């Protein structure tokens, strides 16, 4: 290069200047501070205000946290320890109540020797969810399943699970990991039967119950196959009727007969033993799993051209959204008892799950309707142009896009619903936030304790809700198809 | 959707059919068939009903449930405790979800008549009191003119408070709270000058303070709160069983029958009243569909009234309630069991 200009230019630099360090104001931490915290007068004032608030909070509550007592058997003992350690007049948190009663906050009154059962149930829940939630990324799946396996199995060992069940859980978790490495769709059958399995693990009783519940839809499917040649409508009606009749009339007796022939049962646990986060998670997970499909159906029904379907769906959605959840819960716990024949034991948790589900489904339907409305009309027309029928068009073209748009709203509804599970306190169920704390306070040892349970329970709620929120963000990123 | 209409109609028809049947079948038969007593209790009230660390219920009301279960079913453990809130308690009883409600509920005219309940007696004579900080310098509720008062909403205490202040021509500012725990917190934080609730609750609250000596409970009791178990209208036999189980516990204390000496008294008691109570003479149990030893089992379950009181809320417990009005009539109290004959 320099040769070319050797005769025409007096001086040509033939080495690069070393790059100088940027000015101190434009680099490193100072730049970050300048850009993010002190970018202008208003920004600066807000930063200082924020810092003052944080300082005030820390200064006010620091000693309370710092003086925490974890080892005591009553509030008075806590107070004595705080006075002995930190001097007269010192205050401190008495987290000993959590140490003493953590199990009730997590499991309610579930029999202590069976704590491993809910633990296993929620461990296997992750396996069942893996093909649904983490179908795209092998790495995430692997990490989550390995963590789940380690945590579940070690917790089960600590909680004294029988060896047979340990092996069972290890096998399922191992199969999940194996399928996750090869082809995660292998786990889908497990995901499908998991709801029945989960119910059986939690409530116990005979395995024949879930088996015969499963037989109902199979018979219905058989009826549908036989009749679908004659008339699709008749076949659908017959399938549903066969399933329902089997469940209502035969399943119960069949299960007890089968149990008599071949006992396959684990210790039954009644609904009144449920409480704490076990109750919240049971209601929350069931509500989430049921309200999404129900919400989709309602949203589609509301968009339908058929008058009856459309108006029924509108009435349902608007009625449920117009009524507070507490009202529905009271209906579930009180009103139904007047209507049902005496002696009918319609499980209270099941009643609450139904009410919570339809409540969340009504909101879900509107969120999804928003997604459907946001789709350009061209997408519907394209589906028609391709000759797809209604269900194929919805399944292949409309819903994937509409649901993707609705993800933030759907997850918000989930989070809201999960937090709303604490409202079951008003129908006498032991939610972790209020009822369980009141029950703990009703023992003279812990009467007068106030903030500590709230902090503990709030922390767990935050973890779960924050997890859901982060997952929804991950999902949004993964499904991003537009060209922003 | 057509199907759902059909199902809905079918369900509604079933429900209506159920309503008609709801009145049939005596409670005693149902309880015996179920082999379990459904007893409505408080979701948690110090001394009266509370689940402990392993989920076992204890307390003054709980002990009555156990005694009733022992009388009817022969086993004090055959009780399913149904926790009820202030809002759900009476509906739970009238809808049949519980057989008996032992949930520190005040026996009032309208509850007994309008709500179709039968209060079978009084197991605790309570009354509404006030607690204030001693440095407030107040020694009587009459000096509380202009005070802010923490009060639980939706309870009889709220109405009593309004009545009392109106009757004494005083003004007050209510601070509405939802639960005992919240009330204590507000009171400790200085949000109100006085905290008012049933005197038994005040005693328990004060006992749990870090500095109980700096708080005083004012001497005035401004209301009558006879707390007692309740059953549904319309099943008098079941009401009799509930009533006389309570009376048996009270009478047992009067005649000196305790869970410790009961076996000996069964063999050797000369007192005809005790003999009838314990079923060694006459067949009192048969008159209400029970066996002769019903009262014996009820007393054995948790002791007589005095033993139950002492074990759960008495002066030896941290709650430390004196017998007061709840002493036997022979001791200057109000407990007076009708004769067993």
Same domain flag for B42 and B177: no
Average pLDDT, chain A: 88
List pLDDT tens digits, range A242-256: 888 888 888 777 887
Of B3, B88, B180, the CB nearest to A334: B88
Same domain flag for B119 and B234: yes
Is B336 contained in some domain? no
Q: What is the mean pLDDT of residues A379-394?
A: 91
Closest by Cα among A292, A224, A446, A427 to B208 = A446
Same domain flag for B207 and B318: no
Inspect the interface and report whether the beta carbons of A435 and B83 lie closer than 8 Å: yes
Q: What is the mean pLDDT of residues A448-476?
A: 93
Same domain flag for B231 and B120: yes
Q: Taking each helix axis as running N to C, give the angle between helix B294-302 and helix B236-254, from 0 to 180 degrees, rounded to the nearest 10.
A: 60
Q: Which residues of chain A does B50 touch, with a Cβ-Cβ cutoff of 8 Å?
A: 439, 442-443
Q: What is the mean pLDDT of residues A91-98?
A: 92
Q: Which residues of chain A does B84 touch, with a Cβ-Cβ cutoff of 8 Å?
A: 428
The single residue listed with the structure tokens 């066996």 is B291
Closest by Cα among B241, B190, B198 to B86 = B198
List pLDDT tens digits, range B231-249: 999 899 999 999 999 999 9
Same domain flag for B108 and B152: no
Is B337 contained in some domain? no
Inspect the interface and report whether the beta carbons of A337 and B205 lie closer than 8 Å: no
Strand pairing category for B100-101 and B37-42: parallel
Which pTM value belongs to this model?
Answer: 0.86
List pLDDT tens digits, range B250-298: 999 999 999 999 999 999 988 999 999 998 888 889 999 999 999 999 9
Distance to chain A for B61, nearest Cα, Å: 13
Q: Which of A2-11, A306-315, A323-332, A399-408 has the lowest mean pLDDT?
A: A2-11
Distance CA A129, CA B223 (A): 58
| Torsion over CA: A31, A36, A41, A46 (sign) | negative
Is B82 contained in some domain? yes
Average pLDDT, chain B: 88
Of B3, B53, B95, the CB nearest to A338: B95
Percent of chain A with pLDDT over 90: 54
Q: What is the mean pLDDT of residues B61-69?
A: 96
For residue B91, give both structure tokens. 């509906």
CB atoms within 10 A of CB B193: 20
- Confidence band (pLDDT; 50, 70, 90) for A336? confident
Q: For position A2, what pLDDT does the model report? A: 52
- Confidence band (pLDDT; 50, 70, 90) for A230? confident
Q: For position B12, what pLDDT does the model report? A: 44
Q: What is the mean pLDDT of residues A199-205?
A: 91
DSSP reduced 3-state for A177: helix
Q: Which residues of chain B does A313 touch, with a Cβ-Cβ cutoff of 8 Å?
A: 1
Q: Which residues of A130-145 are buried (b: 16+ CB within 10 A; e: fewer)?
A: bbeebeeeeeebeebb
- Taking one residue from A and the other from B, the number of pairs with CB-CB distance under 8 angstroms is 131
Domain count, chain B: 2
Which chain B residue has its CA at the smallest distance from A449's CA? B181
- Confidence band (pLDDT; 50, 70, 90) for B21? very low
Contacts of A414 (CB under 8 A, 6+ apart): A288, A360, A468
Same domain flag for B109 and B153: no
- Give, for B231, the enclosing helix (H) or strand (E): strand B230-232
Distance to chain A for B144, nearest Cα, Å: 25
Is B325 contained in some domain? yes
Of B15, B52, B91, the CB nearest to A443: B52
Q: For position A345, what pLDDT does the model report? A: 65
Q: Which residues of chain B does A79 touch, with a Cβ-Cβ cutoff of 8 Å?
A: 210
Same domain flag for B53 and B132: no
Domain's final residue, options B190, B223, B256: B223
Interface test with B, best of A276, A445, A448 (most B CBs within 10 A): A448
Inspect the interface and report whether the beta carbons of B18 and A333 lie closer than 8 Å: no
> What residues make up the domain containing B200?
128-223
Is B12 contained in some domain? no
Q: Cα–Cα distances in Å, from A142 out to A126, A131, A190, A290, B89? A: 12, 12, 18, 27, 50
Q: What is the CB-side half-sphere exposure of residue B143 using CA atoms within 13 A?
A: 10
Of A75, A430, A442, the CB nearest to B50: A442
Domain's final residue, options B171, B203, B223: B223
Burial class (CB in 10 A: 0-12, 13-18, 19+), A443: buried
Inspect the interface and report whether the beta carbons of A312 and B1 lie closer than 8 Å: yes
Which chain B residue has its CA at the smallest distance from A274's CA? B55
Same domain flag for B207 and B89: no
Q: For position B175, what pLDDT does the model report? A: 92
Q: Which of A50-64, A75-89, B2-16, B146-160 has the lowest mean pLDDT?
A: B2-16
Q: Which residues of chain A does B43 touch, with a Cβ-Cβ cutoff of 8 Å?
A: 428, 430, 435, 438-439, 442
Same domain flag for B238 and B112: yes
Distance to chain B for A349, nearest Cα, Å: 13
Of B18, B49, B208, the CB nearest to A339: B18
Distance to chain B for A27, nearest Cα, Å: 49
Which chain A residue has its CA at the smallest distance from B185's CA? A450
Inspect the interface and report whether the beta carbons of B53 and A426 lie closer than 8 Å: no
- Confidence band (pLDDT; 50, 70, 90) for A342? low
Is B273 contained in some domain? yes
Same domain flag for B307 and B166: no
Inspect the interface and report whether the beta carbons of A441 and B46 lie closer than 8 Å: yes
Is B15 contained in some domain? no
Query: For the domain that residue B205 is a member of, what is the CATH number?
Result: 3.40.190.10
Q: For position A293, what pLDDT does the model report? A: 93
Judge whether residue A159 has pLDDT over 80: yes
Judge whether residue B9 has pLDDT over 70: no
Of B1, B43, B317, the CB nearest to A435: B43
Distance to chain B for A345, nearest Cα, Å: 9
Inspect the interface and report whether the beta carbons of A444 and B15 lie closer than 8 Å: no
- Give, for A20, the enclosing helix (H) or strand (E): none
Same domain flag for B187 and B277: no
Interface test with B, best of A89, A104, A319, A339 (most B CBs within 10 A): A339
Interface test with A, best of B51, B189, B205, B232 (most A CBs within 10 A): B51
In Å, how far from its chain's centre is CA B11? Answer: 37
Q: Which of A71-85, A344-358, A385-399, A453-467 has the lowest mean pLDDT?
A: A344-358
CB distance B317 to B311 below 8 Å: yes
Domain's final residue, options B206, B223, B240: B223
Which chain B residue has its CA at the smallest distance from A339's CA? B15
Q: Which residues of B259-296 are buried (b: 16+ CB within 10 A; e: fewer)?
A: eeebeebbeebeeeebbbbbbbeeebbeebbbebbbbb
DSSP reduced 3-state for B2: helix
Of A75, A428, A439, the CB nearest to B51: A439
Q: Which of A118-122, A339-343, B69-73 has the lowest mean pLDDT?
A: A339-343
Q: What is the mean pLDDT of residues B119-138?
A: 93
Q: For position B326, what pLDDT does the model report? A: 94
Judge whether residue A264 has pLDDT over 90: no
Same domain flag for B63 and B157: no
Q: For position A256, what pLDDT does the model report? A: 79
Q: Which residues of chain B does A430 touch, with a Cβ-Cβ cutoff of 8 Å?
A: 43, 83
Contacts of A89 (CB under 8 A, 6+ apart): none
Q: For position A476, what pLDDT does the model report? A: 86
The single residue listed with the structure tokens 């029928």 is A389
Inspect the interface and report whether the beta carbons of B207 and A340 lie closer than 8 Å: no
Give the ipTM: 0.83
Q: What is the mean pLDDT of residues B115-141?
A: 93
Q: For position B5, what pLDDT does the model report? A: 39
Judge whether residue B14 has pLDDT over 60: no
Of A341, A427, A444, the CB nearest to B46: A444
Inspect the interface and report whether the beta carbons of A428 and B95 lie closer than 8 Å: no
Q: For position A238, what pLDDT does the model report? A: 86
Q: Which residues of chain B does A338 touch, with a Cβ-Cβ cutoff of 8 Å?
A: 19, 22, 95
Q: Taking each helix axis as running N to C, give the angle between helix A163-182 and helix A188-203, from 0 to 180 degrees, rounded to the nearest 10.
A: 160
Distance to chain A for B176, nearest Cα, Å: 18
Q: Which residues of chain A does B1 touch, with a Cβ-Cβ cutoff of 8 Å?
A: 301, 308-309, 312-313
Which chain A residue has its CA at the smallest distance from B55's CA? A109
Across the strands, what pairs with B215?
Answer: B133
Is B11 contained in some domain? no
Q: What is the mean pLDDT of residues B70-83?
A: 94
């Amino acid at each position: 290069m320099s040769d070319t200009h050797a005769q025409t230019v007096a001086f040509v630099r033939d080495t690069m200047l070393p790059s100088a360090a940027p000015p101190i104001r434009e680099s490193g931490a100072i730049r970050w501070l300048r850009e993010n915290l002190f970018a202008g007068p208003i920004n600066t004032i807000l930063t200082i205000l924020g810092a003052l608030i944080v300082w005030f909070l820390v200064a006010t509550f620091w000693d309370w946290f710092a003086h925490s007592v974890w080892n005591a058997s009553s509030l008075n003992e806590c107070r004595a320890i705080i006075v002995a350690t930190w001097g007269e007049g010192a205050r401190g948190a008495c987290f000993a109540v959590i140490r003493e009663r953590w199990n009730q906050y997590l499991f309610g009154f579930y029999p202590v020797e069976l704590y491993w059962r809910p633990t296993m149930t929620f461990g296997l829940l992750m396996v069942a969810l893996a093909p649904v939630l983490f179908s795209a990324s092998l790495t995430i799946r692997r990490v989550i399943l390995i963590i789940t396996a380690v945590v579940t199995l070690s917790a089960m060992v600590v909680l004294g699970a029988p060896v047979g069940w340990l092996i069972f859980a290890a096998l399922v978790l191992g199969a999940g990991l194996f399928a996750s490495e090869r082809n995660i769709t292998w786990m889908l059958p497990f995901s499908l039967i998991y709801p029945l399995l989960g119910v059986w693990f939690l409530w116990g009783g005979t395995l024949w119950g879930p088996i015969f519940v499963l037989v109902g839809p199979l018979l219905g499917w058989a009826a549908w196959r036989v009749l679908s040649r004659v008339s699709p409508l008749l076949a659908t009606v017959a399938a549903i009727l066969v399933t329902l009749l089997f469940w209502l009339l035969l399943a119960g007796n069949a299960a007890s007969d089968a149990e008599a022939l071949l006992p396959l049962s684990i210790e039954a646990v009644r609904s009144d033993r449920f409480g704490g986060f076990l109750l919240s998670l049971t209601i929350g997970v069931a509500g989430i799993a049921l309200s999404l499909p129900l919400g989709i159906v309602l949203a589609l029904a509301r968009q339908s051209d058929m008058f009856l379907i459309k108006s029924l769906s509108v009435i349902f959605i608007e009625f449920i959204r117009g009524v507070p959840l507490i009202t529905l819960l009271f209906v579930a716990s009180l009103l139904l008892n007047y209507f049902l024949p005496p002696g009918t034991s319609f499980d209270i948790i099941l009643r609450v799950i139904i009410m919570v589900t339809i409540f969340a489904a009504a909101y879900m339907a509107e969120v999804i309707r928003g997604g459907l409305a946001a789709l350009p009309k061209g997408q519907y027309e394209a589906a028609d142009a391709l000759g797809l029928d209604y269900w194929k068009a919805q399944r292949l073209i409309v819903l994937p896009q509409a649901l993707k748009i609705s993800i933030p709203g759907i997850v918000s509804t989930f989070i809201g619903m999960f937090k709303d599970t604490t409202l079951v306190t008003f129908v006498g169920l032991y939610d972790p936030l209020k009822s369980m704390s009141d029950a703990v306070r009703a023992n003279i040892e812990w009467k007068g304790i106030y903030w500590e349970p709230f902090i503990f329970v709030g922390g767990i709620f935050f973890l779960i809700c924050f997890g859901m929120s982060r997952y929804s963000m991950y999902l949004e990123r993964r499904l991003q198809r537009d060209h922003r | 959707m057509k199907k759902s209409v059909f199902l809905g109609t079918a369900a509604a028809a079933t429900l209506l059919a159920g309503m008609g049947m709801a009145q049939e079948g005596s409670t005693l038969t149902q309880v015996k068939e179920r082999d379990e007593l459904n007893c409505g209790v408080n979701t948690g009230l110090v001394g009266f009903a509370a689940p402990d660390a392993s989920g076992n219920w204890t307390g003054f009301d709980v002990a009555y449930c156990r005694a009733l279960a022992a009388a009817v079913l022969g086993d004090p453990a055959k009780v399913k405790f149904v926790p009820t809130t202030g809002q759900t308690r009476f509906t739970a009883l009238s809808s049949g979800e519980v057989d008996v409600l032992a949930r520190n509920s005040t026996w009032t005219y309208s509850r007994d008549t309008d709500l179709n309940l039968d209060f079978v007696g009084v197991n605790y004579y309570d009354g509404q009191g006030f607690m204030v900080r001693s440095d407030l310098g107040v020694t009587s509720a009459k000096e509380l003119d202009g005070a802010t008062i923490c009060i639980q909403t939706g309870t009889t205490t709220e109405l009593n408070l309004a009545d009392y202040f109106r009757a004494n021509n005083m003004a007050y500012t209510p601070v509405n709270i939802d639960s005992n725990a919240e009330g204590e917190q507000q009171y400790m934080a200085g949000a109100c000058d006085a905290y008012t609730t049933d005197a038994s609750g005040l005693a328990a609250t004060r006992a749990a303070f870090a500095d109980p000596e700096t708080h005083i409970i004012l001497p005035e009791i401004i209301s009558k709160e006879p707390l007692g178990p309740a059953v549904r209208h319309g099943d008098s036999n079941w009401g009799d069983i509930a009533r006389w189980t309570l009376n048996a516990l009270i009478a047992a204390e009067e005649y000196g029958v305790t869970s410790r000496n009961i076996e000996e008294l069964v063999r050797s008691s000369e007192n005809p009243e005790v003999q009838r109570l314990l079923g060694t003479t006459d067949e009192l149990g048969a008159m209400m569909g029970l066996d002769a030893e019903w009262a014996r089992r009820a007393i054995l379950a948790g002791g007589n009234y005095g033993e139950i009181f002492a074990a759960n809320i008495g002066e030896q417990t941290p709650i430390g309630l004196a017998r007061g009005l709840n002493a036997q009539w022979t001791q200057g109290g109000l407990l007076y069991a009708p004769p067993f004959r």
